[in-house]
Amino acid sequence: MKQRGFTFIELMITLAIMATLATVAVPMAQVALQRAKEHELRTSLIEIREAIDAYKRASDNGRIKLSLGGSGYPKKLEELVEGVPDQRSASKQNMYFLRRLPRDPFQAKENGNAADSWSRRAYASPPDDPSEGEDVFDVASRSTRVGLNGVPLNQW
């Protein structure tokens, strides 16, 4: 049996098909990567917001010492991981609200610690103009990118 080599035309057709497949596959891979990062962002936001809410509940129940005029929200995000003394415990054991603080997946890892990757909103700031302040009432992404759902990531 005689082996047959590729002709120039067959080779060009094969390369054209591969180029077409690559132009379709690259955007699909980019969308899949964006979707995975958005899922991670959504999960991180839920985790941090639930920890902030648990901190506030503990504060409302008298388990966290409040300063005069304090809102009951943590002064900094790191308190959720570092813990705060339980005022109802005889030995003042620390209460912890997170094992670790997740970082914003849309921020470069070189940009400081996980707490610095988030935009923070203070309790006293108005909802239409969130800003940092004396405490941490809410967090948001610092990214200016728009999500696959058409909503800017910093508004999630």
Each residue of 35-68: pLDDT tens digit? 999 999 999 999 999 999 999 999 999 999 988 8
153 falls within a domain: no
Identify the pLDDT of residue 5: 65
Each residue of 106-146: pLDDT tens digit? 987 776 788 899 999 999 998 888 899 999 999 999 999 99
154 falls within a domain: no
Amino acid at 117: S
Domain that holds residue 58: 9-146
22 falls within a domain: yes
> Residue 21: phi, psi to the nearest 5?
-65, -40
Identify the pLDDT of residue 118: 94
151 falls within a domain: no
pTM of structure: 0.80
Q: Which residue has the tokens 């047959």?
A: 4
Task: Give the span between the Cα atoms of 109 and 100, in whole angstroms.
Answer: 15
Q: Among 143, 139, 144, which Cα is nearest to 122's?
A: 139
| Sign, Cα dihedral of 125, 130, 133, 139 | positive
Q: Among 2, 26, 5, 1, which Cα is nearest to 14's?
A: 5
Residue 102 has which token pair? 């997740």
Each residue of 71-118: pLDDT tens digit? 999 999 999 999 999 999 889 899 999 999 999 999 877 767 888 999
Looking at the structure of the chain, the number of domains it has is: 1
155 falls within a domain: no
4 falls within a domain: no
3 falls within a domain: no
DSSP 24-74: HHHHHHHHHHHHHHHHHHHHHHHHHHHHHHHHHHHHHTT-SPPPTT--SS-
